[in-house]
Structure 1
Amino acid sequence: MSLLDADAHTAHIFTGAWTRSGGGDAPVVSPSTGTVLGRTGIADADDVREAAARADKARHAWAAASFEERAAVLRRAGDLLQAHEAEITDWLRRESGAAAGMAGFQVHVAAEECFEAAALASQPHGEVLRTAKPRLSFSRQVPVGVVGVIAPFNVPLILGIRSVAPALAVGNAVILKPDPRTAVCGGAVLAEVFHRAGVPEGVFQVLPGGVAAGEALVADPHVRVISFTGSTAAGRRVGEAAARHLKRAHLELGGNSPLVVLDDADVEAAASIGAWGSFLHQGQICMTTGRHLVHASLADAYVERLAAKAEALVVGSTEEDGAALGPVIDAGQRDKIHRLVTAGVDAGAELRAGGTFEGLYYRPTVLDRVTPTTPPFAEEVFGPVAPVVRFSTLDELVELAGSTEYGLSLGVITTNPMRGLEIADRIPSGIVHINDQTVDDEAVAPFGGVGHSGTGSRFGGTRANLEAFTETQWVTMRADPARYPF
């Protein structure tokens, strides 16, 4: 049985059932072929207000349900994702331009997010506190109520469900606003999965939309927490709006993550690690290796091997087997990538591979002899581009690594892991991988960046998820009523 019924979800939003949207509809376009795959509903501000009111009414019964009931729903959701892996993978390949391996990885992680969230539902949610009075004093984690999730186009399934699943598990209602460019694999898939898994009507709703829908979601008084993943510029606007409405915003934003190759590294292994970090999913990942900081003694050999790997990668339609890299999401993103590559070359960088495109297919690109004044050094490219910067001393390395606004992920390649960790201690970063590249994600691990990469680890792992999607409440209980002199 198919997960998605085109007649049911096309040009609709999900409010507990598929319904027509107030904002009209938009085409769902394959970046690989330009083919229109269907249409998605576009929510307007009225749709969001109605959904938030509906969620606020539905949340109470869901929060009152036993942890066993909520856990069972999350387990069924994970099972459904696994059972429909082929269909979901096909949508990810066609709609988001993900290669087969990347699409399969998303489904795997999405299922694991559900299974981990199921376990979260039964975690201890409080502690007994000391008190100087004759009473029981304790704290407990209670649901916030309604959570708004705003997810991007690039890894739509994972970047939506990693907030949706834990928020549901601890008893919240959730409204998900996926990017309209990936409204099926990042929205309709999750709507059907959780509906079939048994989430009550109104507890989980999916409203694809643009800026108007996002602004309405942040402003609505029923929505108490916003979980946003996207660019730093957009995240800053979300955070400012959330602050005006006195609500929490968990922001996972951009990155320009460095991969450090120390003078004792295995050059061939390092080049393989660097190629994967920069070119995976066309570089459209927040953790993508944005800067390769390579010791001068290894740089020539490293660049030679990295360029060879770039030239060997097959770029083509992800709707067919065999392509390692697919298209970038749209012409606007392609043009930004090419502008930065061209500006880098004009500023003195050496183009060692790539730098060309056909349609939305941008060749994996290697730029050598990049400096801090070269445009691709400081700005997030969000494309398959590997800028290589040379360093001679550790102090120079630390200054280079920490000289951008971002602080999401860091990789250090060395034969001495303790030396790598000592260097990592000097470089601000929310994530550190010794002897690995910068792109990784596990449902059991806290995830988030520092600086302009976001507001810290707000996703993944028991503690981060509980802190993100609950409020801490203090409770006291006495055997008899208290007596006062008034």
Structure 2
Amino acid sequence: MENFETMNKSFIKGKWVEGASENAYNDLNPYDESTIASFPLASKDQLEDAFEAAHQAQMKWAESTAEERKRVIHNTADYLKEHREEIAQLIVKESGGTMLKGNVELQLTLEVVEEALNYAGELDEVREIPSSIENKVNKVYRLPLGVVSSISPFNFPMNLSMRSIIPAIALGNSVVHKPDIQVGLIGGVVLAKAFEHAGLPGGVFNMVLTDIPEIGDGMITNPHAELISFTGSTAVGKHIGEIAGRNLKRVALELGGNSPFVVLSDADVDQAVRAAVFGKFVHQGQICMSINRLIVHKDQHDAFVEKLTEKVKALSWGDPGDPDTVIGPLINRQQIDKALSYIVQAKKEGAHPILEGKLEGNVLTPSVLTHVSNKSEVAKSEMFAPIALIIKAESDEEAVEMANDSAGGLSSSVFTSDLAKGEEIALKVKAGMTHLNDQTVNDAPDIPFGGNKESGVGRFGNPWVVDEFTSTKWVSIQREARSFPF
């Protein structure tokens, strides 16, 4: 058994080091606001030490064999499996997720780690391309980028951290990782312990428990950072992209969503309702892929609203540690206030609250709002809360137009009984991912996960992630003397 809650240090150059800042962060349980741990924050100098350690370690790690990298990956997965129960419980305690969420997040993390075994040998694959020049051979190599700067969010901190970290390491890079400080144990400490157990050489993975007031833009501007991998809000993603572009650094950005769930005129309403309730309310709607707008054809609208509201009323809420709980707390008071403001805003804009959520401690019970305009400010906002916005469409064509009338383009869903028509429509929906007759919250380690428009840049998942975390190099070999025209 590991007592992760006592591990409040950063991990730099293979060593656990106490934060040198004068400031500390109290890590609170979102449900009852009890203190889980207190993190002495890492200073800006310590962040620079982490990047320097990563830079030095990467030069040697780049020369590691595929077998060495696979051994580390295997050992990392073994550690997570060995500590499955306490990790799942810690996810519940630190993120406010339910038991279902804790187990799902850990399983997704394991799948991401184990998938890395399938591409850890990509650095050894050399492609030869015929040349039009006599006696020349063209070879194409994949090389590690160098140091990857990883910044992860609060909602699925273990999975969304490892999604960047393990491909970086599997492909010969080193990492400096900053988890959201609100979930520093799940998003940082547990991963550092796993890599330490796995025998990863010191400095290949570095984890800093710190916050923006301490380090500013240090995760983005450090000269050793070749790629900034960030999952979080669109506003922060734009800031990162602007700085990275100025410095010609690569980025992998998975940003906010405004996922539409489209119910067409011929859809199975009962199944659509079952899918919608899960895709909207799992982890209190605090997922980038969560359903944000329920766009329902007028012929299905009334039945859909009635059946969805009935099902939502029956959802249990309260202590996320209770296995029967479906709706737990939002992550912090700021998110609660924002969610409550959305309900007020929606009503001002003419929405009708069929079911209006109430604040019970830090738990916001579910809301269902109808008469929502797709042009309203609330429909343009990412809820990140258990608030269902239902929009009526006059036709199937209008439903698709509404789905596309958004700055976001991450995930989406279309419900129809005509699968051929549905697949055609899926290709017209301007999102990186569209799920036919399913809800919007889907992930797997072997699919191209990512968004369009303001929802991000780049793709995770094997083999697409290999392109993101390596550089491609052309080496030509002139085997016999070449003649030149002058």
Normalising by structure 2, what TM-score? 0.96
Distance in 2 between residues matched to 1:360 and 1:461, nearest whole Å? 38
The Cα shift of 1:241 comes to 0.9
Distance in 1 between residues matched to 2:178 and 2:61, nearest whole Å? 21
> Would you say 1:147 and 2:148 are equivalent positions?
yes
Give 1:460-479 correspondences, 5 Å limit. Answer: 460-462=461-463, 464-479=464-479
> Would you say 1:169 and 2:170 are equivalent positions?
yes
1:17 aligned to which of 8, 15, 21: 15
214 and 260 in structure 1: CA distance in 2 versus 1, 3 angstrom threshold: farther
**Counterpart contact for 1:311–1:354, Cα < 8 Å:** no
**Counterpart contact for 1:11–1:26, Cα < 8 Å:** no
1:403 aligned to which of 402, 405, 415: 405
Distance in 1 between residues matched to 2:45 and 2:309, nearest whole Å? 51
SS of residue in 1 equivalent to 2:160: helix
The residue type equivalent to 2:332 in the other structure is D
Corresponding position of 1:121: 120
Distance in 1 between residues matched to 2:370 and 2:290, nearest whole Å? 17
The Cα shift of 1:133 comes to 3.7
| Sequence identity (%) | 36
Number of aligned residues: 482
The Cα shift of 1:329 comes to 0.3
The Cα shift of 1:14 comes to 4.3
Corresponding position of 1:198: 199
Deviations 1:226-247 (A, max 9, x none): 1000000010001111111110
SS of residue in 1 equivalent to 2:203: coil
**Counterpart contact for 1:291–1:389, Cα < 8 Å:** yes
**Counterpart contact for 2:4–2:190, Cα < 8 Å:** no
SS of residue in 2 equivalent to 1:400: helix
SS of residue in 1 equivalent to 2:252: strand
CA RMSD of aligned residues (A): 1.6
1:378 aligned to which of 368, 377, 380: 380
Deviations 1:202-257 (A, max 9, x none): 00011122225361011011110010000000100011111111100111000010
304 and 210 in structure 1: CA distance in 2 versus 1, 3 angstrom threshold: same
**Counterpart contact for 1:310–1:354, Cα < 8 Å:** no
Distance in 2 between residues matched to 1:423 and 1:276, nearest whole Å? 23
Give 1:355-366 correspondences, 5 Å limit. Answer: 355-366=357-368
The Cα shift of 1:480 comes to 5.4
SS of residue in 2 equivalent to 1:56: helix
**Counterpart contact for 1:160–1:186, Cα < 8 Å:** yes
Corresponding position of 2:130: 130
**Counterpart contact for 1:258–1:410, Cα < 8 Å:** yes
Normalising by structure 1, what TM-score? 0.96
Distance in 2 between residues matched to 1:230 and 1:67, nearest whole Å? 31
The residue type equivalent to 2:178 in the other structure is K
Distance in 2 between residues matched to 1:50 and 1:482, nearest whole Å? 49
The Cα shift of 1:86 comes to 0.4
**Counterpart contact for 2:298–2:395, Cα < 8 Å:** no
**Counterpart contact for 1:26–1:40, Cα < 8 Å:** yes
The Cα shift of 1:288 comes to 0.4
The residue type equivalent to 2:155 in the other structure is N
1:216 aligned to which of 211, 218, 222: 218
The Cα shift of 1:321 comes to 2.8
Give 1:389-468 correspondences, 5 Å limit. Answer: 389-456=391-458, 458-462=459-463, 464-468=464-468
Give 1:273-288 correspondences, 5 Å limit. Answer: 273-288=275-290
150 and 392 in structure 1: CA distance in 2 versus 1, 3 angstrom threshold: same
The Cα shift of 1:79 comes to 1.6
**Counterpart contact for 2:297–2:396, Cα < 8 Å:** no
1:299 aligned to which of 290, 296, 301: 301
> Would you say 1:225 and 2:227 are equivalent positions?
yes
Gapped regions of structure 1 (runs ≥ 5) = none
SS of residue in 2 equivalent to 1:298: helix
